[in-house]
Structure 1
Amino acid sequence: MFFLITGHLFVQVDVRNSESGEQVHARLDKALRKAWLTLRFHQPTIASWVVQDAETGKLTKVYRTLRDDSEQKTWLENTLIPVPKKLTSNEWANTDPPAQKLPTLFVINPSPSSDNYGPVRRDLILRSPHDIIDGIGTLQLLDRLVDYVSKAFDEGNYYRVPTLNGSETSWLSPPFRVAADVPFTLNETQNKKLASMAAQKEAAAKSDGNPPRVGLSLSKEHTFRLLAACKSVGITVTHAFHAAIAMVLRDVQDRNIKATCVRYVIYILRNERARCKPPYNTSDCAASVYHSVSGGALIVDTDFPGPSQESRRKDEFLQIVQTVRDYYEEVRNDQEHYALAPFIWQDSIPRIPATGTVPPVPPPKQLPSVSISSMGCVDYIIKPDRGRIRVYDPWVTGEELGNGLGLFLGTYRGELCLSSAYNDAWQSHDGAMDFLKRCLAVVSVGLGVSDV
């Protein structure tokens, strides 16, 4: 199994005068079961897994159709799991939950069933191997799930789950190479470009279980002012926080090290769904891995130690953020990148250990890095309201297997959230939260936006 992707949101339904809270609880749980089965029909890849041939080492994605109602019941029980403990979703996500073989939906009920007046809430946490789905796909999949929950809740006993008789296999998501018609060979120009990217990466590097998660949310007013400030200088909020990461990484270095410069080197992910042909370019194929990694590296060199005066830090931030913006635009506007993507993955993925062997635990990096994945305005992916169902707090995170941090950025219902996955073998909750707060402080000073 590759590492896991974890996606979250919670749904809420108000209790009307004509019904009891107990009735709404039961109705919502029944709608969830129907919706999960419906999702398997339209997105059958959620019931697939990857196996490795012991002799050849070849990896194959497998989907097995259901033979009878008993197998359907077993799949439902194994992949739609109520969480018995009364925990918040963040608390549960930080308890090292099980790594399932198949994509699995965990359901938390934080609202007491005895409350006949308050809203009924369910926290939905999707955990899936990353070789089945990626971050954007996870959000798209959760949006589809809520669509089906809303429909099943409104229609009640009249809602009919599609029959899982094997016809759903026509909706299985193909590999990216098929979805985007990626050629199997590159032309001479593309090969030269690939070699140039590899050389740039090498030169840049030569210079002097479930991840716990922490999050930092901004108010609507603070978010509005921050977005307006970004727009005024021609950048996005992603550019701003990525520039801040480079500065904060420099700021937290040991002051006793003998260096005059700190180099930040990182790569970014690019959503390739727009490059895919229909229907693979839509959320009809959300359960897929249709993203790539940038070919060239983002390189930011900062003076060490950094300036202490606020005016000089603001100038430094604005200079770095232009470098970040130019890099993002270069990656975004590269029309040939989708064709190079499989070859870049091929060169960067290490050889898979032989079946049955246990590879050594990799040592921590001497210079742990920090990445950032931006989901943008999540309202465009997950609709906030439909019918009686209201959606809140959507987020997605990967696993941080090393001693660095993986930051995630997104805005929903007008509120920006910056969160981080971290490996608690190397990092602490307080340390990860401190890093997020430092990034926010750098952005606030750089753009002249306070949180009051």
Structure 2
Amino acid sequence: MATHYNQYAWQQIEQRVWQRSVDEIERCYAVLSKLYEGSGRMFFAITGHISLSIDIVDSFHDDLDSRVDTALRNAWLTLRHDHPTIASEVKYDTSTNEFTKVYRTIPTIADQQAWIDETFVKISTDKTGSEWANNDPPAPKLPTLFVITPPSVLHEENRPGAIRRDLVLRSPHDVIDGIGTLLLLGNLVKIVSKAYDQGSSFELPTFDNGSELRNMSPPFRVAANVPKSLTETQQRRLANVASLKEQQLASDIPLLLIPWKKEEITPGKHQRVALMLSQERTSTLLHACSYIGVTVTHIFHAAIPLMMRDVQEKRSKPQTLRYVSYILRNERANCTEPYNSAKHPAALYHSVSGTSLLVDMTIPAVGSSPTVDQQQSESEEFFRVLQEMKQFYHDVRDDAEHYQLVPYYWASSTRQLPPAAKEPLPIPPPSTQPSVSISSMGLIDNIIPTKAGGISVSDPWVTGEELRNGLGFFLGTYRGQLCLSAAYNDAWHDRQEVETYLEMCVDIAFKGLKSYIF
């Protein structure tokens, strides 16, 4: 490891305890969590979910439920050895106002059992995993796997006699990101299948002498081999980006905002609501996207400002409002081996766009009724917005220097903590400019197998805990079905309202593409 990265190398500070500095991405999420700590909830806490349906391979085997849970427990411990950073924790030092990432080894059987007891939690409930995750679940400081036995509901992939478990991973966002969560769950599925098939002959890893330390994940700077310093040209580019953002903030064009209930000032419960398209509708949409050379992410990001336009209160005259957002991008492809693979899921290897994504929308005057010309104009507007989205995404994709600038983009968007912050800090008020963002998980089948041995997998999803009054949309396709979901906080939005927004976006997407749907 290069000398200038020594601060990011895992170093032993006392017996069994290792630590390293956090990078800009990890610090950004750690700061957000700290700022909202007084709410009693964890800002952007990751929630990852999958449902498992396990075939009964031996009807004469006693206590099959116990066999399944033992396989899950053994797989979770194996995962700890393969990806030990999942057992790390970001600590805050009030004396220095700094964060460090800390890891403790578990060399003895007693240590391993203590970690299992703390982070592998069986839940007794009458809810499914998705329902339980919407019921204000705990947000432990150590990433924790909650194992839920849901009510006996037969889904398409379930059969009478199959055993089902819903798995919910809860983790601080400064330990793992969204794609990393799906990668981790995909790896877990494969190990569970092996552990279930092998039963008592399944071989557990050994943790003696810290053997797992070789698998520790570095921060993005190291994983992507980001140069220590910027070139003069890159420094000028960053200065131009900062100047452009100041100009955008100073614009006279009002912002396009999502409506919210203004009575509440403190966060309530994070909630997730999802809209699943059928395989037929998903296939139709994908074919239309392929025909015109766009992705479903472009389509649904384009639908968002159009949806927000349609829910605005109209005035006596038309008005122009500006949608301002950003894109989140998985940067694992820009990491060096083995960090570009599923071998290092428990890490934050993603970026935000440096410049803001801007789309201007015209809100028609009150009382205006659509004419044929206006309907034609709406179709043109959809493709105008779609092309702007596609261009913005491609500009980031084709930027060879983007990954080198990622740490600086994160640093510029990180809020400042007061010196020697006392605990807890006052909870930030709701934003006066709440908007809607979108995170795309892509084709999840490429990350989580739909079947592993006798285990069928369904309903994989991930969110970050929303404690603000904006909305976070998530997009992913699995088993041929596209799912558009939203994370929101019930202090400022309700379920029916957000479901309507999702339905509007789907409707906008299909109406916009109707000329290309065959």
Fold match (TM-score > 0.5)? yes
Cα displacement string for residues 366-410 of structure 1 (whole angstroms, at most 9, x for unaligned residues): 331000000111001111111101111101111222111000000
Instruction: Report the counterpart of residue 170 of structure 1 in structure 2.
Output: 214
2:183 is equivalent to residue 140 of structure 1: yes
Instruction: Report the counterpart of residue 97 of structure 2 in structure 1.
Output: 57
Alignment CA distance shift 1:408-1:161 (3 Å): same
Unpaired stretches in structure 1, ≥5 consecutive residues: none
TM-score by length of 1: 0.95
> Which stretch of structure 1 is more off in the superposition, 82-91 or 127-136?
82-91
Counterpart selection for 2:246 from 199, 202, 216: 202
Aligned residues: 450
Instruction: Report the counterpart of residue 371 of structure 1 in structure 2.
Output: 437
Alignment CA distance shift 1:312-1:11 (3 Å): same
2:293 is equivalent to residue 228 of structure 1: no
2:297 is equivalent to residue 254 of structure 1: no
2:134 is equivalent to residue 94 of structure 1: yes
Q: 1:117 deviation in Å?
A: 4.0
In the aligned structure 1, how far is the partner of 2:277 from the partner of 2:515?
Answer: 12
Tell me if structure 2 keeps the 8 A contact 1:264–1:300: yes
Instruction: Report the counterpart of residue 12 of structure 1 in structure 2.
Output: 53
In the aligned structure 2, how far is the partner of 1:92 from the partner of 1:224?
Answer: 31
In the aligned structure 2, how far is the partner of 1:450 from the partner of 1:81?
Answer: 49
2:332 is equivalent to residue 273 of structure 1: yes
Instruction: Report the counterpart of residue 41 of structure 1 in structure 2.
Output: 81
> Which stretch of structure 1 is more off in the superposition, 362-371 or 187-196?
362-371
Instruction: Report the counterpart of residue 339 of structure 1 in structure 2.
Output: 404
Alignment CA distance shift 1:244-1:164 (3 Å): same
2:186 is equivalent to residue 120 of structure 1: no
Tell me if structure 2 keeps the 8 A contact 1:250–1:305: no
In the aligned structure 1, how far is the partner of 2:159 from the partner of 2:189?
Answer: 23
2:185 is equivalent to residue 151 of structure 1: no
Q: 1:202 deviation in Å?
A: 2.4
Tell me if structure 2 keeps the 8 A contact 1:225–1:449: no
Counterpart selection for 1:384 from 432, 443, 450: 450
Instruction: Report the counterpart of residue 244 of structure 1 in structure 2.
Output: 303
Tell me if structure 2 keeps the 8 A contact 1:111–1:120: no
Three-state SS of the structure 2 residue aligned to 1:283 is coil
Q: 1:303 deviation in Å?
A: 1.0
Q: 1:173 deviation in Å?
A: 0.5
In the aligned structure 1, how far is the partner of 2:338 from the partner of 2:57?
Answer: 39
Identity rate, percent: 51
Q: 1:292 deviation in Å?
A: 1.1
Three-state SS of the structure 1 residue aligned to 2:468 is coil
Letter in 2 for 1:339: Q
TM-score by length of 2: 0.83
Q: 1:19 deviation in Å?
A: 3.7
List aligned pairs for 1:412-431, cutoff 5 A. Answer: 412-431=478-497
RMSD, aligned CA: 2.2
> Which stretch of structure 1 is more off in the superposition, 341-350 or 116-125?
116-125
Alignment CA distance shift 1:145-1:449 (3 Å): farther
Q: 1:432 deviation in Å?
A: 1.1
Three-state SS of the structure 1 residue aligned to 2:343 is helix
Instruction: Report the counterpart of residue 27 of structure 2 in structure 1.
Output: none
In the aligned structure 2, how far is the partner of 1:133 from the partner of 1:210?
Answer: 22
Cα displacement string for residues 132-191 of structure 1 (whole angstroms, at most 9, x for unaligned residues): 000000000000111110000111111011012211011110111111111221111101
Alignment CA distance shift 1:349-1:136 (3 Å): same
2:415 is equivalent to residue 350 of structure 1: yes
In the aligned structure 1, how far is the partner of 2:138 from the partner of 2:89?
Answer: 16
Tell me if structure 1 keeps the 8 A contact 2:274–2:483: yes
Instruction: Report the counterpart of residue 189 of structure 1 in structure 2.
Output: 233
Unpaired stretches in structure 2, ≥5 consecutive residues: 1-29, 34-42, 254-267
Q: 1:67 deviation in Å?
A: 4.3
In the aligned structure 1, how far is the partner of 2:383 from the partner of 2:296?
Answer: 13
2:382 is equivalent to residue 317 of structure 1: yes
Cα displacement string for residues 205-264 of structure 1 (whole angstroms, at most 9, x for unaligned residues): 333276210000000000000111111111111101000001111111122486610100
Cα displacement string for residues 78-114 of structure 1 (whole angstroms, at most 9, x for unaligned residues): 111111111012211111111101000011101559x
Q: 1:449 deviation in Å?
A: 8.0
Alignment CA distance shift 1:242-1:116 (3 Å): closer
